[in-house]
Amino acid sequence: MADAYLDIETTGLSWLDAEITVIGVYLVNGNDRKLVQLVDKEVNIDNLIKAVDGVHTIYTYNGSRFDLPFIHGPLGIDLESVVDHRIK
């Protein structure tokens, strides 16, 4: 099972009136490393689920207050219900 470090970039501070422009997922599985970047139209639920497939734990920086709610709002996926979430 891999670990993932997740960060997003947005056009504003609230998902109610802003958009996600980039979702970055850095995957670590032993010595294997992989960076997945979803940009613009690639930012969708199918691509995000594919990016975190096989992930056990997602690490974020302030993700509980920003990244994960911002993803949950427009994309409709609660990542904390899919994988373990830890704050760095």
- Alpha carbon distance 40, 63 (integer Å): 20
In the chain, domain spans:
1-37
Bridge partners of 40, per DSSP, are none
Arithmetic mean of pLDDT, 30-44: 97
Percent of the chain with pLDDT over 70: 100
Taking only the tens place, the pLDDT of each residue in 61-72 is 989 999 999 999
Q: At 54, which amino acid appears?
A: G
